[in-house]
Structure 1
């Protein structure tokens, strides 16, 4: 099953995972560009991106040495609702950055919000959590 099949599966947790990856990339790149104008939120964005790497890319948890405490933290987010709450919290924090200084950090805030919406839909539809095979997950073969 390829990426096209994964997107055709209508599993919103897969859509949310890809939106999370986009958010991660935006947090890192735009954090560099806004470091001078809004350093506190740029660094917070990098911390969020670090967390998202381990939450959204299952391959990283297999290859990177992590502590059992961190593994337990990441394992808590296998539920769509908990992932949604995490993304909503991150989105609110990034939207708060616009109070200090309107910067490009509003773009990852929007993608974080869209990721929350996707995980919320997955939870409401009671869709099982799935992750893309490209990122080291199981895909939708075991879910459907």
Structure 2
């Protein structure tokens, strides 16, 4: 069983719904989940907020966070995940925001991706430095990491 099939199966068994908020992956995570038969029973919705204005209007990310930390930050990833969970009604929401490349800077290098996971227990974030491995590779690795984070969140929520 592939990881997305596992995600769908354990979410269904736990009675949990999932929402996604993506930036650099442009909907790859939502597409991967919804390619799985039965996904409609657990996937609430996904939104691609590539522009900062979309992050603000669709997910409620604050202009202050964007100004202070930039779109590629754990602060913004947390606000994206919170906004997706609150607005979708899903029990678990995952966000992805990063620099897939090419480009970057010393302060925010290519391959840096921030994730947020919002559940009833709060919000967790992490940053992964995938490195300058090429846009397609960074995006695919980001999608795969997000799937693993959602699976871990579902497993944590399903525990009594």
Question: Normalising to structure 1: TM-score of the pair?
Answer: 0.29
Higher strand share: 2
| Structure of greater relative contact order (alpha carbons < 8 Å, 6+ residues apart) | 1
Question: Normalising to structure 2: TM-score of the pair?
Answer: 0.27
Higher helix share: 1
Name the larger-Rg structure.
Answer: 1
